Chains A and B, each alone.
Chain A
């Protein structure tokens, strides 16, 4: 009866698979012989992705002074690894298309995810991290485990939601109490099966207990804080009704003063709308 965490992932890897374009990009980037044009060509095969990349590159998120017209120029300016991470981030919506909207609408879910990604990216920018797109991607992926749970174990999820409606509690705690695992375990395991870099996996797997992240504490602390801020700004939701408690240690890892928060709020709000428009354009 009890659902096993491992089989929840292994039985569904065919349904939730990494977009092939990401794998090809990753191969090309790791191949020393490939040029910027090669990488641009791979992206150009996917028209939707090309449009999103160009829109992103020309958006205030980057603030380049002149217009970026071609994808190879975008690759050159944004960076190859960064483009690979952005591809992953912006194609997640396709991987999880058609998920039943019994618990939350996909708009609400992705709004929360994109908000977390955008805020994480801003935090990384202020911290002068070399690849801010990794943080953006980790933010977009951080609650992905919930989508698998909503699809593959709807009755369990329904029970948890009605439990919370009767007795207020944090969803991620109820998940662990009633299932023995929570969405961070599911998401972490999926990313591991997808063989994504450890910094993404760890940030997703430990965003609710950042002190457990031993290899990538900064990435994890960033997602932990960005998740809380996205909740506090009331930008979408992945099903969690209440704001998760802040880990003071995680906040300290970012070495920000409290007076940084108004900046994060202001910039976060501005950039989330832009990113939403590009990644999840409103239905006509």
Chain B
């Protein structure tokens, strides 16, 4: 099983499970080969991840690509955000954790003027 985010989905990949929208309506059935058009459909219907056949090589590698920023900036961003998140459940809530990760990323961008 390989659940990947639609940003990493490429034409030619095959769906392992059906894709439904938020209301449960079927958008694309199991076994369908992804083409360009489907990527647009997923985007406009707010589909953010799908289950595809086989293992996705390079998926883990891609996660590790970090934009070159100096450590000082990263530390500064993390510190500031950690204070901001002081009253949230950062340790136990995966959603909060992801919001934190995105906030740090955004802060790093802002600090390095991207």
Decide if A127 touches B89 in the complex (CB within 8 Å). Answer: no
> Given that A126-B22, A128-B23, A234-B107 are contacting pairs, would A263 and B84 also be in contact in the complex, using a CB cutoff of 8 Å?
no
Decide if A245 touches B46 in the complex (CB within 8 Å). Answer: no
Q: How far is the CA of A248 from the CA of B89 in the complex (A)?
A: 10
Residue B49 contacts which of A126, A232, A257 (CB distance < 8 angstroms)?
Answer: A257
Q: Chain B nearest CB: distance from A33 CB in Å? A: 35
> Given that A231-B84, A232-B99, A243-B84 are contacting pairs, would A260 and B46 also be in contact in the complex, using a CB cutoff of 8 Å?
yes
Q: How far is the CA of A248 from the CA of B96 in the complex (A)?
A: 9
Q: Mark A250-266, 1 if CB is under 8 A from B, else 0.
A: 01000111111111010
Q: How far is the CA of A127 from the CA of B98 in the complex (A)?
A: 20
Decide if B95 touches A259 in the complex (CB within 8 Å). Answer: no
Residue A246 contacts which of B5, B46, B95, B107 (CB distance < 8 angstroms)?
Answer: B95
Decide if B103 touches A261 in the complex (CB within 8 Å). Answer: no
Decide if A243 touches B87 in the complex (CB within 8 Å). Answer: yes
User: How many residues of B are counted as interface, with CB atoms below 8 angstroms from the partner's CB atoms?
Assistant: 26
Decide if A232 touches B100 in the complex (CB within 8 Å). Answer: yes
Decide if A265 touches B106 in the complex (CB within 8 Å). Answer: yes
Q: Chain B nearest CB: distance from A273 CB in Å? A: 13
Q: How large is the interface on A (under 10, 10 to 19, 20 to 34, 35 or more residues)?
A: 20 to 34
Q: Mark A143-186, 1 if CB is under 8 A from B, else 0.
A: 00000000000000000000000001110000000000000000
Residues of chain B lying within 8 A (CB to CB) of residue A127: 22, 46
Residues of chain A lying within 8 A (CB to CB) of residue B107: 234
Q: How far is the CA of A269 from the CA of B93 in the complex (A)?
A: 23
Decide if A263 touches B46 in the complex (CB within 8 Å). Answer: yes
Task: Say yes or no: is B102 at the interface (Cβ < 8 Å to chain A).
Answer: yes
Residue B22 contacts which of A128, A232, A265 (CB distance < 8 angstroms)?
Answer: A128
Task: Say yes or no: is A194 at the interface (Cβ < 8 Å to chain B).
Answer: no
Q: Chain B nearest CB: distance from A218 CB in Å? A: 11
Residue B5 contacts which of A244, A251, A259 (CB distance < 8 angstroms)?
Answer: A259
Q: How far is the CA of A254 from the CA of B28 in the complex (A)?
A: 22
Decide if A259 touches B49 in the complex (CB within 8 Å). Answer: yes
Select the residue from B23, B49, B88, B89 with max chain A CB neighbours within 10 A. Answer: B88
Task: Say yes or no: is B48 at the interface (Cβ < 8 Å to chain A).
Answer: yes
Decide if B95 touches A261 in the complex (CB within 8 Å). Answer: yes
Decide if A244 touches B95 in the complex (CB within 8 Å). Answer: no
Q: How far is the CA of A255 from the CA of B20 in the complex (A)?
A: 12
Decide if B89 touches A257 in the complex (CB within 8 Å). Answer: no
Binding site for A on B (CB under 8 A): 5, 7, 21-23, 46, 48-49, 83-89, 93-96, 98-100, 102-103, 106-107
Please name the 3 residue pairs, one residue from A and one from B, whose CB atoms are nearest each other, closest first: A126-B46, A259-B48, A232-B103
Could you pull out 12 A-B pairs where Cβ atoms are within 8 angstroms? A168-B86, A169-B87, A232-B100, A233-B103, A234-B106, A246-B93, A251-B95, A256-B48, A261-B98, A262-B5, A262-B7, A263-B46
Known: A127-B46, A258-B94. 14 other contacts (CB 8 A): A229-B99, A232-B84, A232-B99, A234-B103, A241-B84, A242-B85, A245-B87, A246-B89, A248-B93, A260-B48, A261-B102, A262-B5, A262-B7, A263-B48
Binding site for B on A (CB under 8 A): 126-128, 168-170, 228-229, 231-234, 241-246, 248, 251, 255-263, 265, 269
